[in-house]
Structure 1
Amino acid sequence: MLEIILLVLLGLLAAVFGSIVGLGGGIIIVPSLMLFGSVLTGGEISHAAAVGTSLAVLIVTALASTISYTKKKRVDFRIGWMLFITSGPAAMLGSALTGQLQGGWFQLMFGVFMLLMAGLLIARDFIKPSARIWPISRTYVDPEGQSHEYGFALLPGLLVGFGVGLVSGLFGIGGGSLFVPVMVLLFRFPPHVATATSMFVIFLSSILGSGVHAVVGETDWRLVLALIPGAWIGGKVGAYIAVRMSGKGLLWLLRVTLFILSAQLIIEGLTQI
């Protein structure tokens, strides 16, 4: 019973963090399952099973968040579908490659990736959005009545979608950790629209990525069932919080958490190589 409670709480916390900043929660679930598998389930959890399980849970998290954001009219579905053109297939490719990383290489690569993401989450507060005029122009009017102009271009968007989808399927993180900063800094998306649209793309890509892991037997459905209740609630709670606050305090907590988890994964990866 204690293990089930811990897994529900893990799904809840990961989904709350993920929904607030558009990460999807996988960047918390995957390392937690790998590092604390013996505590959560009584046995070790392989990196492939952690990734496959995370992507399956991300479907629920992202769906809950997308529904909440859609009610607030913050999801740019047109651009979301454009990003999915390449992110979906790339997520399938990344998922197929996950099991090929043996020994400590996955832990090392994932640890380095998380370290870079933590740095990017810090750097994005100090980097100014691009002033470039993009061929596709969009307008978002926030609840205060303020109008925000942002843009998009198909070719850069497709390239970004492919890279993010590949990383998403490989590591089971959903891709929001890359999508949101790129959408804000490169295309000048309002942060709330970037987060909401990111969660929509994560929902679609996670379906394809998790399908690949399920086919090759890399999904622990018992863990999925235990994590889903917390993920569904957390996705809605995170979206609720994101609508009403900047989330800066929680964002700094996430940054510190990523630094700690990344250091542990890098150390473990180096000792296993």
Structure 2
Amino acid sequence: MLALLGLVVLGFIASIFGSVVGLGGGIIIVPTLILLGSRLTGSEINHEVAVGTSLAVLIVTALASTLSYAKKKRVDFRSGWLLFITSGPAAMLGSAITRYLQNGVFQLVFGIFMLLMAGLLIARDFLKPVSRKWPIERTFTDEDGSIHTYGYAILPALIIGFCVGLISGLFGIGGGSLFVPMMVLLFRFPPHVATATSMFVIFLSSILGSGVHAALGEIQLWIVLALVPGAWFGGKIGAIIAGKMTGKGLLWLLRLTLILLSIELITEGVTQL
């Protein structure tokens, strides 16, 4: 019973973080399942099962967030579908590759990636969007009637979508940790529109990525069912929080969490090599 409660709480906390900053929650779920799997479930969880299970949960998290953001008219569906053209297939490719990484290698690479993401989340507060004029210009009106103008080029958008999708399928993290900063800094998306649109793309990509993991038998269904209730409500609450506050305090907590988890993963990865 305590293990079940622990999984529900994990899904809830991870999805709040994910929804507020557009990460999808997997960046918390995957390392927690790898590092604390035996305590939460009674047996060790290998990295490919942790990734597959996380992607399956992300479908629910991202759907809950997307629906909440859509009601507030914050999702740029047109741009989201464009990014998904390459993000979806790349998520499937990344999901197929995951099993070929040895345990120590996966932990080490994932730990380094999380450390880089923590650095990116810190650096983005000090970086300014590029002033380049892109060939495709988008005008987006949100629920408050505010008009936002931003733009992009198709090829760079498709390349970013592919890279994010590949990382999403490989690590089970959704990809928002890269999507949001790139959309804000490179294409000048308003932060709240970037976060909402990122969750929409994560929802679509997670379906394809988790489908590959399911076909390979790399999803623990009972863990997914335990994580889903917390993930659903956490995703909705996170979207509400994102709409009412800047989320800076929560963002700094996330940065610190990522740094601590990355250090633990890197240490474990090195010891297993």
Q: TM-score, normalised by structure 2?
A: 0.99
User: In the aligned structure 2, how far is the partner of 1:264 from the partner of 1:43?
Assistant: 19
Q: Distance in 1 between matches of 2:221 and 2:146?
A: 45
Conserved? CA contact 2:73–2:143, under 8 Å? no
The unaligned stretches of length 5 or more in structure 2 are none
Cα shift readout 1:56-108 (whole Å, capped 9, x = no counterpart): 00000000000000000000000100000000000000000000001300000
| Alpha-carbon distance, 1:144 to partner | 5.1
CA distance in 2, matches of 1:145, 1:96: 43
What is residue 86 of structure 1 aligned with on the other side?
A: 86
2:226 alignment counterpart? 226
Helix, strand or coil for the counterpart of 2:181?
helix
Q: CA deviation at 1:42?
A: 1.0
Q: What code does the residue aligned with 2:6 have?
A: L
In the aligned structure 2, how far is the partner of 1:60 from the partner of 1:144?
27
Determine if the alignment matches structure 1 residue 10 to structure 2 residue 10. Answer: yes
1:156 has 2:151 as partner: no
Paired with 1:152 and 1:200, the residues of 2 have a C-alpha distance of 18
Q: Distance in 1 between matches of 2:143 and 2:82?
A: 26
Q: Distance in 2 between matches of 1:2 and 1:42?
A: 11
Question: Equivalent residues in 2 for 1:191-210 (5 A)?
Answer: 191-210=191-210
How big is the shift at 1:246? Answer: 0.6
- 2:268, 2:120 → 1: CA distance? 23
* Aligned pairs for 1:172-187 within 5 A: 172-187=172-187
Q: Distance in 2 between matches of 1:58 and 1:149?
A: 29
Quote the offset at 1:153 in angstroms.
1.2
Unmatched 5+ residue regions in structure 1? none
> Could you list the per-position Cα deviations for residues 145-173 of structure 1 after superposition, in whole angstroms to 9, with x for gaps in the alignment?
54321112110000000000000000000
Tell me the SS of whatever aligns to 1:104: helix
1:120 aligned partner, one-letter code:
L
1:143 positional shift:
5.1
Secondary structure, aligned partner of 2:133: coil
Q: How does 1:191-270 map to 2 (within 5 A)?
A: 191-270=191-270
- Secondary structure at the aligned position of 2:148 is classed as strand
Tell me the CA shift for residue 194 of structure 1: 0.1
Equivalent residue for 2:40? Answer: 40
Q: Distance in 2 between matches of 1:245 and 1:203?
A: 24
Cα deviation, residue 142, structure 1: 4.6
Aligned to 2:128: 128
Describe the superposition over 1:196-227 as per-residue Cα deviations: whole angstroms up to 9, x where unpaired.
00000000000000000000000000100000
Supply the AA of the counterpart residue of 1:24: G
In the alignment of these two chains, the number of paired residues is 273
Contact 2:111 2:261 in 1 (8 A): yes
Contact 2:46 2:103 in 1 (8 A): no
**One-letter amino acid of the counterpart of residue 193, structure 2:** V
Letter in 1 for 2:79: I
- How far apart are the structure 1 equivalents of 2:77 and 2:250? 27
Equivalent-residue separation in structure 2 for 1:91 and 1:101 (angstroms) = 16
- Give aligned-pair identity as a percent: 74
Q: Match of 1:167?
A: 167
The whole-number CA distance in structure 2 between the counterparts of 1:8 and 1:88 is: 28
Q: Secondary structure at the match of 2:23?
A: coil
Which residue matches 1:77?
77
| Contact 2:76-2:140 within 8 A present in 1 as well | no
Helix, strand or coil: the match of 1:137?
Answer: strand
Q: Distance in 2 between matches of 1:78 and 1:34?
A: 36
Detail structure 1 runs of 4+ shifted over 6 Å in the superposition: none
| Separation in structure 2 between the aligned mates of residue 254 and residue 143 of structure 1, nearest angstrom | 28
